Amino acid sequence: MASANLFLLFIISSLFSSNCISFAETDTIKQGQLLRDWEQLVSAGGVFRLGFFSPNPTYSIELGSSGPRHLGIWFNYIPFYSVWVANRKDPIPDSSGALTVDGDGKLKITYQGGSPIVINSNMASKSSPGQNWTLSSWLSEKIPAPGAFKLGLDPSGANQLLIWRRDEIYWSSGVWQNGSFESAPELTKRNDLLDFRFVANEEERYFTYSIKKKSVLSRWDLDTLGQITAFILERNDSSSIWIYDTVGPCQYASKNSTAVCLTEKPTKCRNGSEMFVPKRGYIDYTADWYYDSDFNLSLSDCHAKCWKNCSCVAYKPASNDDTGCHFWSKLSNFTPECALLDRVLFFTVPTLSLYQTDENEIIVTIYKTNNLLRKAGGAAAAASVWTKRANRKMEGEKEEMVTPGEVLGKASELKAGKGAYVAPYRNTDIFYVYSSLSGFLRTLAPTPDSPDQRPTVEVTGLKARGAVPEAGSVVIARVTKVMAKMASADIMCVGPKSVREKFTGLIRQQDVRATEIDKVDMHLSFRPGDIVRAVVLSLGDARAYYLSTAKNELGVVSAESTAGGTMVPISWTEMQCPLTGQIEQRKVAKLGN
């Protein structure tokens, strides 16, 4: 991730002083001093902050974590967006890192057990002859290392921006004319707040923008799917206005506001008759699947590989950091489950909603899941989602699926109905309407004579008698604690329906399997974090339901290894990590026939 025209001035003193930074906020690090993991610098104007962080897909950056750690710069009062990362390719494994200025005036990161990392502090934003500065996407939401996409000036000399995908031209902005790009005028549409310039002469050539008001914060981001995200925050004494726009190769195909796009060239088997759609659930790993263990591959690389292989019908990242690829050539044993929020597979399905470009390329739409909100980083995404929803034509009632905690819109523009609530965003005075349950969103138009002309949004839950556990119900639960004689779990789904309140389940030693009950070792059957499929035996007491995994089709359906990989079943008692080959014991559910 990167930002144009954003600089943090470090005042480097040649005077030696104490070896650590004062806890008082400063914009200065002196030669010989150490800026440790828990310390930070703040720019003189108070706009930017520098320190160590861990990438977090929920909040973009996470402070005070154990690792891996990166040195970066982010907005001082909005710790969701890193605007620069120093050690993108070389994360520090723990919190022992420190920034220092050595005797030669070089910025270095030192840490226990490793060689110092020298930081290239040349923040030049202009392209001189022979130089071509680019922004590069992250490899994934959790890994800042350079990913599949790069944004830069056209090296041929044309005054335009290009996006490369694995070094092949993927998108062009069109030539700069009269203050905007010919094919992407939306990039510069906020010229009321920002000053855009494209300078081209014999000595240098560059595109830049700067803010016109000190009350404005702005940032460009090239995301992991090759889209340019323009983020603007305009603040005044009474409110803050968030503007969040996405611009990129698929802008003409994104008629669904919850969609992002990838562009792929036609192949002999993909001619516009299908697209990839994400679904949540678990799948039988015993047959018809293969994987690529190259963990320099991103989600877009998995998409491209599956697109080019005519036998590929689905894919997903191979690891929990969204790198590497799993592929399937057959999906007969896929079981959808509402609770597996982090288990998304991308399937090919027939569609007639694809668009063909002038270059005879097929636009493939991948419908977003709740990751839109995680990636966007809170309030900016909230405003974006509501702005796009508000732009849809309202005709009576509309319905779409939402999940608990999803932002439905601004409280100043919406009324919260059933299944929705109003709350401030974090510690700000900006209020939004949120969904309180999984279900269908309905937007109700106000009556003409209503004094309050705000539309009302309500969420109708997936109500059913089976939504509350009862004897015989098949449930999905997440293991929370494993003891010698039993394991406890939080029930998340009853059948295909999400639960609306907390239900606790207990799996007793005698209910784990049907044979050799006296030999069951609970710690070799389940681990905290495992997702299990079980049947409700009874309401054991007032606090928990008794659950059973004794049948073959019941047991662990999803688990993570200690290395962070999604475990693959290899028998009814063992699962294997595809990253390390390590085998761990579980009571595995048998899926399919």
Residue 125 has pLDDT above 70, yes or no: no
* Percent residues over pLDDT 90 in the chain: 28
Task: Classify the phi-psi angles of 185: left when phi > 0, otherwise alpha if psi is within -120 to 50, otherwise beta.
Answer: alpha
**124-138, 211-225, 297-311, 403-417: which range is least confident on average?**
124-138
What DSSP state is assigned to residue 393? P
CA–chain centroid gap for 424, Å, is 22
Element housing 275 (H / E): strand 274-283
**How far is 265 from 304, CA to CA, in rounded Å?**
9
Q: Is the pTM of the predicted complex or chain greater than 0.85?
A: no
473-585: CATH class = mainly beta
Residue 526 has pLDDT above 90, yes or no: yes
Whether 235 and 215 have beta carbons less than 8 Å apart is answered as yes
Nearest to 245 by CA among 385, 433, 407, 142: 385
Residue 522 has pLDDT above 70, yes or no: yes
Q: Give pLDDT, residue 120.
A: 75
What DSSP state is assigned to residue 517? G
Nearest to 547 by CA among 514, 586, 508, 494: 508
For the segment 486-506, the average pLDDT, to the nearest whole number, is: 84
**12-16, 95-99, 213-217, 257-261: which range is least confident on average?**
12-16
CA distances to 77, 78, 245, 428 from 73, rounded to whole Å, are: 12, 11, 22, 22
Residues 6+ apart with CB under 8 A from 532: 476, 477, 478, 479, 489, 507, 526, 547, 549, 554, 555, 556, 557, 589
Domain ranges of the chain: 33-121, 143-247, 274-353, 400-461, 473-585
Q: Give pLDDT, residue 357.
A: 35
Would you state the structure tokens that stand for residue 351, as one six-digit string?
A: 């569609």
Q: Give pLDDT, residue 540.
A: 67
Q: Give pLDDT, residue 572.
A: 87
Q: Give pLDDT, residue 302.
A: 92
Exposure on the CB side of residue 217, measured as CA atoms within 13 A: 23
Asked if domains 274-353 and 400-461 share a fold, the reply is no
Residue 22 has pLDDT above 50, yes or no: no
Cα distance from N-terminal residue to C-terminal residue, the chain: 46
Question: Three-state SS across 441-459?
Answer: EEEECCCCCCCCCCCEEEE
CATH of domain 400-461: 2.40.50.100
**How far is 589 from 351, CA to CA, in rounded Å?**
33
**135-149, 266-280, 283-297: which range is least confident on average?**
266-280
pLDDT band at 385 (very low <50, low <70, confident <90, very high): very low
Q: What three-state secondary structure class fits 387?
A: helix
Whether 491 and 534 have beta carbons less than 8 Å apart is answered as no
Residues 6+ apart with CB under 8 A from 284: 332, 333, 334, 569, 591, 592
Cβ neighbours around 254 below 10 Å, total: 18
pLDDT band at 168 (very low <50, low <70, confident <90, very high): very high
pLDDT single digits (tens) 401-451:
666 567 788 888 888 887 787 776 555 567 788 776 666 788 888 888 888
Whether 109 and 45 have beta carbons less than 8 Å apart is answered as no
CATH of domain 274-353: 3.50.4
**How far is 498 from 491, CA to CA, in rounded Å?**
9
pLDDT single digits (tens) 70-121:
999 988 877 667 889 999 999 999 889 999 998 888 899 999 988 999 987 5
